[in-house]
Structure 1
Amino acid sequence: MNPAGFGAPFLAVLFLLAAALRSLPLAGARLQVAMTVVRNASSVGAFCLDGSLPAYHLDRGFGAGAGNWLLQFEGGGWCNDVESCLERAKTRRGSTQLMNKWEDFNGILSNNASLNPDFYNWNRVKLRYCDGASFGGDALFHNGTSPLYFKGQKIWESIILDLLPKGLGTANKALLSGCSAGGLATFLHCEDFTNYLPRDATVKCLSDAGFFLDLQDIGSTHTMRGFFKDLVALQGMNPNLNENCTAASSNLPDLCIFPQHALKYIATPFFILNSAYDVYQFHHGLVPPSADIHGRWKHCKMNPAACSKQQIQQLQGLRSSMLSALKLFYQYSSKGGMFINSCFAHCQSESQNTWFAKGSPTIDNKTIAGTVGDWYFNRRNIKEIDCAYPCDSTCHNLIP
């Protein structure tokens, strides 16, 4: 039959249906999103370590989520001395020119309702990480030939300014999130983020594996404190730390880079997603190489089941330190949410296996995605804390 016989109205409906079908994500389809370089970033002094321009990846929202925005800071460690920053500037961690120009969007960034039920149709943005200081520095180092740009704060500002006219400036709902060093960036920029958005917008923040602890290692040394102190000094981060925290900690203002010291000064609703046995903090904070020169923790680090009773006891101390640092937030934050599980993991929101999938980690039969969604949309007030290792049987997608 000739479709022209149905007339213009039918053809118009057919065209709209075809367009709608094209906009729907296919189940199991791999979503790759192209890089957008912030071309006018130089006007605000925003550069990656090597002087290249900052960038992000944006996948547009659709349907009921077209007016909502999710921004995800990319993670990837830090550089806290000139030598390591010079090396970093020659890699994808310090230059957008060396990055993949397409990024996979999984987990909280997925556009598939069956894989990301609460945020799949939002505008989802991944902010590329190229400054080495959790988007928090503002300094410049000249070594004679190749300068190092410590401009994370400016990178953050340039990306936001680029997104505002693209719809972020009129957002109805927004969630600022990040993983690892990006999770720390969420603590640093949560309050600032709200200032860019409409007053009637619902704005909240989520840190995944970003609750880095100010704790002593097994050698009774504050290894992480020393590392972050050098980071703050080198990259000029002090002015960009929470000003209320630094005012109250005038003797040691650089400690405000630690979320446990800054959290009480963040008024925006906040969700903390973290493993109580975060593998980065286990390997670099509790048992850094400098505290284990004989390698007694080698097998334990590879497999917790190989840990001795004494090592397990020290790992339980790591969990206790985290819960102690979160105690006031747990007790008194009516707008805050938590999911502190006992899997040996680091970053769980960007991986589909841990965010929302068959066999993903749960607490009280609740997935991470379900818990975050319930908190964001006020379906219930959630602060979930898992029992201590090795009681959780849902960690099979991770280290046993």
Structure 2
Amino acid sequence: MKKTICLILIVQSIMSFHLKYISDPKALCLDGSPSSFYKAEGYGTGAKKYILHFQGGSRIGGQTYEQLVKSAYTRSKTDLGSSKNLNQQMLYSGWFGRTKNGNEHYYNWNMIYLNYCDGTQHQGYKSDPIEYEGQKLYFRGDQIVKSWLSELYDDLSKAEIVIVSGCSAGGIAAYFWVDYIRSKLPASVVVYGIPDSGIFIDMAAIDGTNNPRQSLDLLIDLVNSEVSHPNSECVSNNQQQKWKCYYAQYLLEYIKTPLFIVQSLYDYYSLSQMFKVDCANNYNLTQCTQDQLDFSQILYSKTYDVIMKRKQSFQETGGFAPSCIEHCFLLTSRYDSADWQVPGESGNTLSNTINKWLNSNQKYDDNIYLDSVEWPENHKCSNSELSNYSNQFQIIIIILISSIIS
């Protein structure tokens, strides 16, 4: 029995992600601790294949400068603002699963998970820290990403394929950085972007307020005066409206790297947190008023149109977008679950559709899967009983994150 336990521990250690600190002394988390990432080494057929994943977790926020800095201070006391209490090893599921049974196509790839500790969506830079409540706060997202890539460059420059990914705030970071990463690697390296839940529609909440936009304007003033947004073409073409480059719906026009877009058409975080549709808190809309249902349908239509506009402009674009109230897919059981198909009962899971897209050289006309069936007729979705049970932990995490930025 003891030998069995030891063997399991050894296997888990080999398969797990190991914590690595970024050596650049300027690449600091909010609290001044060193930034970091987790890495699982690729082997066999995956030895020269890489997935770079940006961790998500909302961003610092507030309607005044004081609130913004206070939000950063609060966040600096957590793992989303500090590396002081991170585990030395981690295990992830879904697309980052390390067993062939659970992740047939990518289990042996190099998988690299950039920990999110800058609070500003993995971008921006302020050379001088801000002091609040006797603590120095560092805003170094741009430096963290560039230093991370620099440390990985020797390996990435010899790669066969590099996929840039991320969820939520990490999803928008993938949109931010994918062309920059493409530009830094040799032409022989194939680069793709697969952002997850990174489309946050620019529109007012159901009560008419637009707190995210107001907060974003303050954030840009705070951390983007010394460095520019990673997508220089977007910035160049929006000199008077640079905030547009922080929304995927506008940024997509300028991204040249092939993308496979993973996105809920009724994004949970957008509905419940950004747009104040409180009835969506239980991952369905059964308790909503007609006004709330109508608003949710507007979000569905706008998100659908954003993805289709990208597809029309860049035919190689693929995507998986169910009509579900959900947020984040790739590193969860939803990645390959038969309970998530577009359309329902088609067999088109997220795992299947990504693999088909990556192996089609983006020449298929049917490589984008947008659910044309609106809620509540969307079967095979987050409204299933199984999926609701599995989402309870994520609900708690999102509530905690929301309390940090409120």
TM-score computed with the length of structure 1 as normaliser: 0.85
Structure 2: gaps (5+ residues): 1-6, 62-67, 390-406
Give the whole-Å Cα distance in 1 for the aligned partners of 2:96 and 2:198.
18
State the shift of 1:332 in Å: 2.5
Whether 1:384 aligns to 2:403 is: no
Q: Could you say if the C-alpha distance between residues 342 and 25 of structure 1 is closer, same or farther in structure 2, counting changes exceeding 3 Å?
A: farther
State the shift of 1:391 in Å: 1.7
State the shift of 1:299 in Å: 4.2
RMSD: 2.4
Partner of 2:17: 33
Q: Output aligned runs, 1:87-106, within 5 Å.
A: 87-106=74-93
Partner of 1:256: 245
TM-score computed with the length of structure 2 as normaliser: 0.84
Q: Percent identity, please.
A: 27
SS at match of 1:41: coil
Deviations 1:77-96 (A, max 9, x none): 11131000011111111001
Deviations 1:268-326 (A, max 9, x none): 10111000111100012222xxxxxxxxx544432422223332222111101112223
- Of the structure 1 ranges 216-225 and 168-177, higher mean CA displacement relative to structure 2 is found in 216-225
Of 184, 206, 218 in structure 2, the residue corresponding to residue 230 of structure 1 is 218
Q: Is the 2:29–2:118 Cα contact (8 Å) retained in structure 1?
A: yes
Q: Is the 1:345–1:398 Cα contact (8 Å) retained in structure 2?
A: no
Q: Output aligned runs, 1:58-137, within 5 Å.
A: 58-80=39-61, 81-137=68-124
Partner of 1:17: none
Larger radius of gyration: 1
Q: Is the 2:29–2:117 Cα contact (8 Å) retained in structure 1?
A: yes
Read off the aligned partner of 2:355 and give its amino acid letter: G
Q: Is the 2:172–2:199 Cα contact (8 Å) retained in structure 1?
A: yes
Partner of 2:334: 354
Read off the aligned partner of 1:51 and give its amino acid letter: G
Q: Is the 2:48–2:158 Cα contact (8 Å) retained in structure 1?
A: yes
Whether 1:181 aligns to 2:169 is: yes
Q: Output aligned runs, 1:160-175, within 5 Å.
A: 160-165=149-154, 167-175=155-163
Q: Is the 1:225–1:255 Cα contact (8 Å) retained in structure 2?
A: no
State the shift of 1:399 in Å: 4.3
Deviations 1:372-397 (A, max 9, x none): 11112226451111121112221124
State the shift of 1:217 in Å: 1.1
State the shift of 1:37 in Å: 1.2
Count of aligned pairs = 363
Q: Could you say if the C-alpha distance between residues 199 and 37 of structure 1 is closer, same or farther in structure 2, counting changes exceeding 3 Å?
A: same
Give the whole-Å Cα distance in 2 for the aligned partners of 1:254 and 1:89.
25
SS at match of 1:313: helix
Give the whole-Å Cα distance in 2 for the aligned partners of 1:124 and 1:298.
36
Deviations 1:171-218 (A, max 9, x none): 111101000000010011001111232211111011101111111211
Read off the aligned partner of 1:78 and give its amino acid letter: R
State the shift of 1:398 in Å: 3.4
State the shift of 1:162 in Å: 1.5
Deviations 1:134-162 (A, max 9, x none): 11010133327422111011111111111
Q: Is the 1:212–1:259 Cα contact (8 Å) retained in structure 2?
A: yes
